[in-house]
Chain A
Amino acid sequence: MPEAVPIEVRGLVKRYGELVAVDDVDLTVEPGDVFGYLGPNGAGKTTSLRMMLGLIRPTAGSVRIFGRDPQLSVKALEGVAGFVEAPSFYPYLSGRENLRLFAAFDGDGAAARIEESLATVGLAERAKDRVGGYSHGMRQRLGIAAALLRRPRLLMLDEPATGLDPGGMRDMRDLIRELSASGMTVLLSSHLLAEVEEVCNRVAIVRTGRVVYQGSLVDLRAQAGEDYVLRTTEDGVARRVAEIQAGVTAVRPRPEGGLTFKAEGEDAVSALSLALTESGALIRELSPRHASLEDLFFSLTEGDERVETRRESGEGGGDPAARAKEAA
């Protein structure tokens, strides 16, 4: 029997009156994925996660977790663990007591994994203290420990790095890598691509409830394309020259001085450098710049001018954003 797909979401919609929090979302998380669910705050990530966990009812669409519907029974969450928003606990119980309660509610020998889980997240020392006195980072870690009790095959973490200091973030990434290496499928949401790009192989980017990109990070990087940065002695002249140069497009002044442009190939760049010299605009810098994923992420989620042109130009070609849009 082929392994069931960890998460399969089709046409998911959640409406609160007029507000459409989640708008026709399709998602597929394959076994072994470390899947980044990305978008700015308020894009509907948490609402989607809550529907995937059966906590709220979709207005329309379906969720299947390993082939089962979490709306019908909590049995669909067998082998699934995680948290939405900040993990929450009973503040008047100790960390260990909280885990005991969860383990009792899990059954299936979860109680035997309490100490091991506490050790994994480095909380063994503080486990006897009331959670009411825990720092944010400790609660995040206790949330992971609580998830590990279930020995999940699918781990769903909502903004796991939020509020962590750089050291905490690194630990979190290491832990996710470790868990993924042990065969766990992981879905993590974040409003920062940089936070997850090191660990994710696939991502979905959401904006105001809609998926605007879904695919591998490699494809997303390829889509980012190459920009060039140009600084000359005469930027005004250089701009006019570049704008009429064959094979050079999207010439823009940079706020910090100089220009950026796109080139169809290196020959076009060479030709431009010659034309610039002839025009008297002497080159101070002419260098390729890999558009950062972060730029692309912002353009996808903020919807500035750049992404609109991208989408238009992408419709004929294999633009993943356009594909995702069509699919959605």
Chain B
Amino acid sequence: MNPGVLTIYRWELRKLRAQKRTYLGLGAAAIVPIIFVVALVTQSGQPNDVAFGRYLHDTGLAVPLVLLLFGSVWMFPLITALVAGDIVAAEDRNDTLKTILTRSVERHQVFAGKALATFTYAILAIAVTGAVALVAGILASGFNSIISLSGTRVSATEGLGLVGLSLLFYLVPILAIASIGLLFSTVFRNSAAAIVGTLMFSLLVQLIGILPGLGGIHPYLLSTQFNAWQGFLRSPVDWTPVIRALWVCAIYAVPALIAAVLVFLRRDVAGD
């Protein structure tokens, strides 16, 4: 029997485990919340102009939420791009595409395995940040209730659930970024170009978002979807940004993935 996507996926994870960049990304995902909390503990001030910023000293639950806001500018896109931009291009760098494509696996299976491994890594990165931020935050500020964006007090346990839900939903735009990283990795065949390209894309979208006169397209920018989770922290839950994030992210991710697959299926695997 020929191996399938699952086999390729498992080996892609194994390859990620053997590479430094994986630990660089996950390490950053773990260290940034720690640095953030250390800074918080040693400083008396807090970022009041950011949602949940003023509660940072009151409850550890605010820490992951504030990090989600800060991280969307470039940290999470960069951590995601670090692997997404490399995973196809690395095969070009090592000239290994010819090696694996002359075994018994089809190109679309290889791509699927890589895409799944990329998503797995991105999910893991958010999970690591979330977990470390929660633990460090609770150690620093305690496991206390939090005030929702609608001004109602939410118990610590319920708040924890909402934080989990927010982290989970944060994955929607992150996976869109990962898809764009995959596309760039496939098209550029160069890790550095794909990683920088993905980051530039993410920053450019944010730039468009702050241009005056373009307020109308603001809800449809990828960068805006990084705030969609805030809908969960209103009472009652505001589903509008949540639903919109789902389809807007799909509009970014699906064409990118389709284009990447087509390029990958049709490309000549020739040495340079």
Chain A residues near B (Cβ < 8 Å): 46-47, 50, 53-57, 73-75, 77-78, 80-93, 97, 101-102, 104-108, 146, 150
CB distance from A120 to the nearest CB of B (A): 19
A57 and B266 in contact (CB under 8 A), knowing A87-B99, A102-B100, A107-B1? yes
Check if B94 sits within 8 Å of A74, measured CB to CB: no
CB distance from A184 to the nearest CB of B (A): 16
Check if A106 sits within 8 Å of B98, measured CB to CB: no
Q: Does residue B19 face the partner (Cβ distance < 8 Å to A)?
A: yes
B window 97-120: CB within 8 A of A: 97-107
Stretch of B7-15, B52-60, B75-83, B141-149 at the chain-chain interface: B7-15
Q: Does residue B238 face the partner (Cβ distance < 8 Å to A)?
A: no
Contacts of A108 in B (CB 8 A): 1-2, 104
Q: Is the interface of A mostly helix, strand, loop or mixed?
A: loop
Q: Does residue B236 face the partner (Cβ distance < 8 Å to A)?
A: no
Q: Which residue of B lies closest to A143 (CB)?
A: B99
Check if A105 sits within 8 Å of B268, measured CB to CB: no
Q: Write 22 A-B pairs (CB below 8 A) sorted by A numbering.
A: A50-B268, A54-B101, A55-B270, A74-B103, A74-B104, A74-B107, A81-B102, A83-B98, A85-B95, A88-B94, A88-B99, A90-B15, A91-B94, A92-B19, A101-B14, A101-B15, A102-B100, A104-B11, A105-B103, A106-B3, A108-B1, A108-B2
Q: Is the interface of B mostly helix, strand, loop or mixed?
A: loop
Report the separation of the CA atoms of residues A53 and B11 in the bound assembly, to the nearest whole angstrom.
23
Contacts of B106 in A (CB 8 A): 73-74
Check if B94 sits within 8 Å of A57, measured CB to CB: no
Contacts of A75 in B (CB 8 A): 2, 104
Report the separation of the CA atoms of residues A107 and B106 in the bound assembly, to the nearest whole angstrom.
13
Contacts of A53 in B (CB 8 A): 98, 102
Contacts of B271 in A (CB 8 A): 46, 84-85
Q: Which residue of A lies closest to B8 (CB)?
A: A105
A106 and B94 in contact (CB under 8 A), knowing A85-B271, A93-B18, A146-B99? no
A92 and B18 in contact (CB under 8 A), knowing A50-B269, A56-B269, A77-B104? yes
B window 166-219: CB within 8 A of A: none
Q: Which residue of A lies closest to B20 (CB)?
A: A92
Check if B102 sits within 8 Å of A55, measured CB to CB: yes
Check if A74 sits within 8 Å of B105, measured CB to CB: yes
CB distance from B83 to the nearest CB of A (A): 14
Check if B98 sits within 8 Å of A55, measured CB to CB: yes
CB distance from A99 to the nearest CB of B (A): 11
Report the separation of the CA atoms of residues A90 and B17 in the bound assembly, to the nearest whole angstrom.
13
Check if B96 sits within 8 Å of A106, measured CB to CB: no
CB distance from A219 to the nearest CB of B (A): 32
Contacts of B15 in A (CB 8 A): 90, 92-93, 101
CB distance from A62 to the nearest CB of B (A): 17
Check if B270 sits within 8 Å of A102, measured CB to CB: no
